[in-house]
A and B are shown apart, each in its own frame.
Chain A
Amino acid sequence: MATSLLEEKLLSGEFVVTTEIGPPKGADVSGVIHHVDLLKDMVDAINVTDHQSSVMRYPSLGACLLIKERGGEPVLQITCRDRNRLALQAEVLFAYSRGIQNILCLTGDSVDVGDHKDAKPVFDLDSVQLLRMIRTMESGVDMAGNQLAGAPKCCIGASVHPEADFMEAQLVKFDKKVEAGAQFFQTQGVFDLAAFRRFMQYASQFDVKILAGFIVLSSAGMARYMNSSVPGITVPQELIDELAAVEKGKGLAKGVEIAARFIRTIREEGLCHGVHIMAVGNESVVPELLAAAELVGVHR
């Protein structure tokens, strides 16, 4: 039996659609609830980011509980930036005890790129070690070898960047994540299909599910900002030009069109097992994107 609805879908061989929401800066969760209600029946799972870009926010775990309460399928993103191994293990126990079993294991952005630059960066573990930590806990013991009264059972995923700056080193890490037990990968934003095809040629030898990540661009300015300030992301000049060519106020519509075009192509070519849509603050356009990408009704 599958551990979670997401795992069941991943194993079904059907095209998987996930998206993500960023929790609010503050305790007002009405926006999260609005987006969860809007999206929960249109996608297979909703990720919640963990202080994305090292900007302090409402916790991923809290928003995952809201998704669960409202009948959605959450993916808890956990980074190693803010918690040592005691806190990471406790987080997994708590999530599992409340029915949150999909976990995306990430190293996390540097503290320096966020809004609390003076904070102590933790990084007691890295993403590979975090994946192994969960597998260890599933065997009934904690990292120190002590017995757990009630072991968690999770569907664990990781991230990979198909357009990384130096792919050879990135693939060494990818191999280690697969070995550590990652069942699925949600990639960083894909903007270059040739690079993604090359990555899939390599990745398809492994028994893991790859969901291609797509960032919905909203303007040429946003794309340029990502190039200058968002770790690892490089939006190609052609796409920036395409966004710059539309009249003011139409950037987001163009971004939706671009993402839909990419998604249709990877689906037509059968390149990977699904997609992960990152609307970064524009979650309301996800239904429109799903329609444009011909993904309505594809979900469970």
Chain B
Amino acid sequence: MKKLSTKIWILIVAYLGLTIAFMYVFADFLYEQLYVEDTKESMIEIGEKLQSMYRGGKVTDEYVESVENINTYSNFNVFAVRNPRELSACVPFEIDYNALIGPDERRILLKGEAVSKIGYEERFQRQVVSVIMPLTDQERLEGIIYIYYPLAKITELAKLEVLTFIGGAILFALILAIFVYKSLQRIMRPLNDLQFAVEQISEGDYGTRVKVVSKDEIGKLSEAFNNMAEAIQREDENQKTFLATVSHELRTPISYIKGYSEAIQNRYVEGKERDEAMNLILREASRMERLTNELLQLVRKESQNIELVPIVLSETIREAVKLLESIAREKNISIQLSLDENIIVQGDEEKLKQIFINVIENAIRYSNKDCNITVRSELSKSDAIIEIQDYGIGIPAEDLPHVTERFFRVNKARSRFDGGAGLGLSIVEKLVKQHNGSLSIESKVGEGTLVTITIPILEE
């Protein structure tokens, strides 16, 4: 399994190679097109001049000589041929002789057109670029002017350049390959760091963070990773705290139950004291039962989706209040209701009832004796607003943001006598969220607390 950087490097180097190969072919093409074509054109130019010197009739010795004289001051090899054997004049008779021009070329020349060739020429035993110009008179091919230039000379000329070109290309490719490799290493470093950090996290080191050095995609990825790591770490800590709290909450009643039941078993307590101890055991067991129920509820709320149906809000509130009347009566607290009877909300009846029970129970629990509690409901646009106002001990401002956290209790002494395990408002918050509503709590120490719950109404 190759690394991504290696793959990218190979890709870039391959493209580079392809580009160089293309450039080579293209240069070759240009050489062929421009240099060879240019050579041919020069040859044709000379050939046309020589053609214009021919006056028709038989090709004379003087003419042949004057054509050959061109060789002294021309780069090209030029000669005139008038031997019909060389001009394939005998075809269609079979010829056992390798003539200078073939029958097809003869046919072109007879039309007065020039013939140009590139390739190996048997006669000269080398690669040549050649141009053949006809000397025609009254449709007779009296002779030809043959001009050629060894191709080897052109390639020899270009050989040094080609070597330099190839050498340069290889060197250039090599340097570029190294440069690309180094750049890739630099670009890929944050990714490598990220990979390392992910491995650290998967091994349980949630404190791992990566350094964000850029604002590009990798930078953003690093940032997102850091946020994720932070979230994981927080969740991990919450989990630990939660477990510690649960264990602590369970340990206290268990130690009570264990202590009292041992005392009863060993008969250290008798008579009235024994009855009290039995009451205590019962109370602590109830506490544990309630705690575990609440925990179960909490866990279930997190994993469940509820079905919302139209519910008459005032009815549900009345039922909740009715259930709590006996506790309220114990503290001589009266619950004042001011309800809008027309409000119908989207909700789950049991869960809605639970919300109100929890909130009103809290209000009763933290109210002094002979107090009032007011429960109001009203309509506001598309929401039902339910307010539960008590005039009890209130919540200190610094604790207010934490009251919905699990196991959070304003009374840090965790007295077994002033109520629940600190899960009530957590559950309320969850349930309200499930109803697409919101929960807000305002409070002043010594003056009381106002809990406002907003639940969307049934829209017609």
- Are A and B a genuine interacting pair, yes or no? no
